[in-house]
Structure 1
């Protein structure tokens, strides 16, 4: 059996293991999806009329704010979902299962690959659930073509991949699952200080550079451009650059940690 065939076979086995774990413990996935759902409903139905005053020069209404909000919530969903990835890999590293895998005749990188692919699948599934809810409460993207919808989903997959590698590295450097959950909090916090809820221009002047120069804002603005026809501009290239940089950092960091001596 060739090295490539062995890698594919073992990675598929590890992927199945991660997906079966998610299937058997659905509460873990539902808990992390619950926060973006609650935020979506809260900001639309409780704060919607007030928050809409901050967009379109104050001439927007709740339905306009829903359109503005949904892309930010979708990207935020990726961050909240992948906190579970950090916890999962930390548990594997500290509870002995990875040490056992090391003694078996399996492809060395299959454990990480299985976690990465499984996490991206779970993240995109969570995004789909939140997206369906958004459509159910009135979100529409009538100007987006099929190609733009496909590009939007591809963008979410790319962001999910970058954040997954980073979440795995954070999980592997943590002492246990609880510490991993705490260390991954920036994946949840950063979208709050982006353009997810209000335009950057509506923020205090001293705060605007923080919102602009972080990975979530260009990703959200690119998604808005694709789904709402507001124009992508340089945000598309910035998003790709951020994703490539985070993927390179996270994958290198994760592999270095995995190749260390077992705990």
Structure 2
């Protein structure tokens, strides 16, 4: 068995372990779906009338709620990674010569699948509320690609945060910026309607180009500028998260 085959086998084994943990704790997935749905209801039916965005507000807000779903859904991943380190599971796996990439990557994949399931529910709920995307088939493929790339970036960053955390509470607290950043982006109101300082932050933070790329693709009016910035941010964050996670894994393991 060569190194690549061994790594793939280890990844499949570790993913099965993480998947079983998710199945045994369905509240993890349920809460990841429920919170964004509540936020969608509040923003569309309670606050939506106060915002002038030039289009149906649910069409405007759905890309931001997709991003919020991603940010909110990674909390269990950070806690799970920390638990593996704190309980000695990682050390046992190292003795068994399991690929470190497989151990960490399995958490990323499990997090991605939970978030993708939650995003499907969010889009379905948005359709019930009047969301009417104009995306063509290639544009839907672009939407899926951006979402997957974002999930990989956020997933590796979350794994690194979990490894760096000293306590479960710290691991859970570490993902709070990922939950809050959509509120300080163009997710729910255009950045140019924000006050000075906040507007500049919203324009240059990583979530805004991702949201704008999703918004353009779903509306059938994609733009290269936000897409390039979104891809660059995702690749950069993924690289930072992966290298940070590998370093912490080696140091703490």
TM-score by length of structure 1 reads: 0.93
Please name the residue that 1:116 is paired with.
Answer: 108
Q: In structure 2, what is the equivalent of residue 136 of structure 1? A: 128
Q: Is the 8 A contact 2:136 2:220 kept in 1?
A: no
- Partners of 2:59 and 2:13 in 1: how far apart? 40
1:76 equivalent to 2:68? Answer yes
CA offsets 1:174-204 (integer angstroms, 9 cap, x no match): 0122210001110101111000000011111
Q: Aligned partners of 1:215, 1:158: CA distance in 2, in Å?
A: 13
Q: Which runs of 4+ in 1 moved over 6 A?
A: none
CA contact 1:162–1:247 (8 Å) conserved in 2 = yes
Q: Contact 2:7 / 2:99 at 8 angstroms: preserved in 1?
A: yes
User: Over residues 207-239 of structure 1, what are the superposed CA-to-partner deviations in whole Å (9 max), with x where a residue is unaligned?
Assistant: 111101111100000001000134424000000
TM-superposed deviation, 1:164: 0.5
Taking the aligned partners of 2:75 and 2:98, their CA distance within structure 1 comes to: 27
Q: Distance in 1 between matches of 2:162 and 2:190?
A: 32
Q: Which residue of 2 aligns with 1:8?
A: 8
Which residues of structure 1 form unaligned runs of 5+? none
Cα pair 1:67 1:139 within 8 Å, conserved: yes
How many Å separate the matches in 2 of 1:113 and 1:210? 31
Measured in 2, the distance between the counterparts of 1:29 and 1:104 equals 31
- C-alpha separation between the residues in 2 aligned to 1:261 and 1:140? 48
Q: 114-123 vs 217-226, which deviates more?
A: 114-123
1:1-263 → structure 2 map (5 Å cutoff): 1-51=1-51, 54-56=52-54, 64-141=56-133, 143-262=134-253
TM-score, normalisation: structure 2: 0.96
Superposed CA offset, 1:49-70 (max 9, x none): 222xx212xxx5xxx0010000
- Shift of residue 261 of structure 1? 4.3
* Pairwise CA distance, 1:75: 1.2
Assess if the C-alpha contact under 8 Å between 2:70 and 2:151 holds in 1.
yes
Give the C-alpha shift of residue 102 in structure 1: 1.4
Q: Is the 2:212–2:226 Cα contact (8 Å) retained in structure 1?
A: yes
Q: What is the CA-CA distance between 1:205 and the residue it aligns to?
A: 2.3
The answer as to whether partners of 1:33 and 1:80 remain within 8 angstroms in 2 is no
Please tell me whether the aligned partners of residues 83 and 187 of structure 1 are also in contact (alpha carbons under 8 angstroms).
no
User: How many residue pairs align between the two structures?
Assistant: 253
